[in-house]
Amino acid sequence: MHEIICPHCGKAFKIDEAGYADILKQVRDHEFEQQLHERLELAEKEKQNAVELAKNQVSSEMHKTTAAKDVEIQELKAKLDAGEIAKNLAVTEALNIVEKERNELANELEQVKRDKQAASELADAKLSKELQETAAKKDAEILELKAKLDASKVEQTLAITGAVGKVEKERDELKNNLDRAALEKQLAEKSLKDKYETQIKDRDEAIERLRDMKARLSTKMVGETLEQHCETEFNRIRATAFPRAYFEKDNDARSGSKGDYIFRDTDEADTEIVSIMFEMKNENDTTATKKKNEDFLKELDKDRTEKGCEYAVLVSMLESDSELYNTGIVDMFHRYPKMYIVRPQFFLPIITLLRNAAMNSLKYKRELALVQAQNIDITNFESDLEKFKSAFGKNYDLASRKFQTAIDEIDKSITHLQKTKDALLGTDRNLRLANNKAQDVTIKKLTRKNPTMASKFDELKDQDPTDTE
């Protein structure tokens, strides 16, 4: 069906293929008649223009020839005026020439007329030929369009038949695919059912084996088994995944408690990438008291802080029936910062995740380490300055005290010396008085009231000073 819009009323209406082809034929026939009429008019105009152009060319050539002859006649007349004989000869010759040229011009004019007639006839023949060729082309186009229309109908019929066959084939294929998909679904469901039943059976058997094994082990041995498992798993990939990592047991219990393992990883510049404090907790199913994971978080956070670790991870087999912890990695940020609880199978993945996350911030850690080193240098300088000031102050206090003690001792010595001086001054005075008294002693005073001593001194005076015993 085709939709056609009326150019006068603007109303759209639909027609079938036959009506559309009939209208298209009418339009093309009308266009063919119109084009043929226009071609005929154009050919007639070209013919008239060619005749007029030929007439104008002949008339122009005749005028040019006549003008040239007139010029030559004038020249000849001028020459005739020069001499009678020459004039006659010239006139005769000129007349012959003129007549000859006149005859030639007449012949030329006749030839032009014949050429014009021939050109006109040739134009008529050419136009007639073109009209015949155009009519033949139009007839051929009409035949070709009719053939195409018939071929189009045949192709349309074949296309419809092919499309129907294709749709039927696709329908059959879809039906077969649906049947095959349903069969595959049944087989897959059966396979998955068998697979999961086998896995459940294997898991039940593994649980029974673990229960039997844990029943034969003490609580301490179960815990050590989990630690050995984690250490073995880490050492298995240490050389390839963590070549510069430190993963050892925490043996520092100076604060009264310790974790199980400490993990530290550094880069080539020995800048720490990430550090983790691990605590491994397991519990025998036959023990009377069942512990919970949250019972160990406070102590783990304390150990993490004391050992300077960034993250804390509890690798736990406790609360084995908890859907929360059995999902894998559980963050406990709402209780303690940067703390996780994981099952043993997620021991290596949590290390890898935290390390990869820390690698993104390694650049900032390096800058922070540089700033911290600068701050440490400033802090060390300030600390050394404070130590120097403190030591200097202590030395000053000690020296000041000793100086004061020395001053006190000097003051005491001065006081003692002053007393000694005063004593010496008193002795000097006494000696001076004694000396004065000694100087004042005479024999006369000594022998006064002592006749015996007076007689002795008198005897000594009477003795010869040169006489010696």
The SS3 assignment for 98 reads: helix
Mean pLDDT, all residues of the chain: 76
Q: Which of 40-44, 351-355, 452-456 has the lowest mean pLDDT?
A: 452-456
CA–CA gap between residue 340 and residue 319 (Å, rounded): 15
Judge whether residue 39 has pLDDT over 90.
no
CA–CA gap between residue 341 and residue 322 (Å, rounded): 12
Q: Which residues pair with 265 in a beta bridge?
A: 274
Against a cut of 0.75, is the pTM above it? no
Average pLDDT over residues 11-29: 70
120 pLDDT band, cuts 50/70/90, is low
CB 248 within 8 A of CB 261: yes
Q: Give residue-wise pLDDT tens across range 2-19.
A: 666 666 677 776 767 777
Q: Give residue-wise pLDDT tens across range 383-411.
A: 777 777 777 677 767 777 776 787 777 77
CA–CA gap between residue 371 and residue 368 (Å, rounded): 5
Q: Give the pair of three-digit tokens for residue 335.
A: 């209780």
Which phi-psi region, left, alpha or beta, contains residue 319 (left: φ > 0; alpha: ψ -120 to 50)? left
DSSP 8-class letter at 345: G
| pLDDT value, residue 190 | 82
Q: Give residue-wise pLDDT tens across range 41-97.
A: 887 787 788 778 877 777 777 778 777 777 777 777 777 666 666 666 766 776 777
CA–CA gap between residue 362 and residue 241 (Å, rounded): 17
H or E stretch including 283? none
For residue 7, CA distances in Å to 18, 284, 355 come to 21, 96, 78
Identity of the residue numbered 367: E
Contacts with 90 (C-beta within 8 Å, 6 or more apart), sequence order:
76, 79, 80
Q: In angstroms, how far is CA 292 from the centroid of its own chain?
A: 44
Q: Which residues pair with 272 in a beta bridge?
A: 266
Contacts with 120 (C-beta within 8 Å, 6 or more apart), sequence order:
47, 50, 51
| Owner of token pair 């001054």 | 425
Quickly list DSSP for 357-399: HHHHTHHHHHHHHHHHHHHHHHHHHHHHHHHHHHHHHHHHHHH
**Domain extents for the chain?**
138-220, 228-361
| pLDDT value, residue 28 | 66
Q: Give the pair of three-digit tokens for residue 457.
A: 């001194």
Q: Considering only residues 348 and 83, tell me which one the structure prediction assigns the higher pLDDT.
A: 348
Q: What percent of the chain has pLDDT over 90?
A: 15
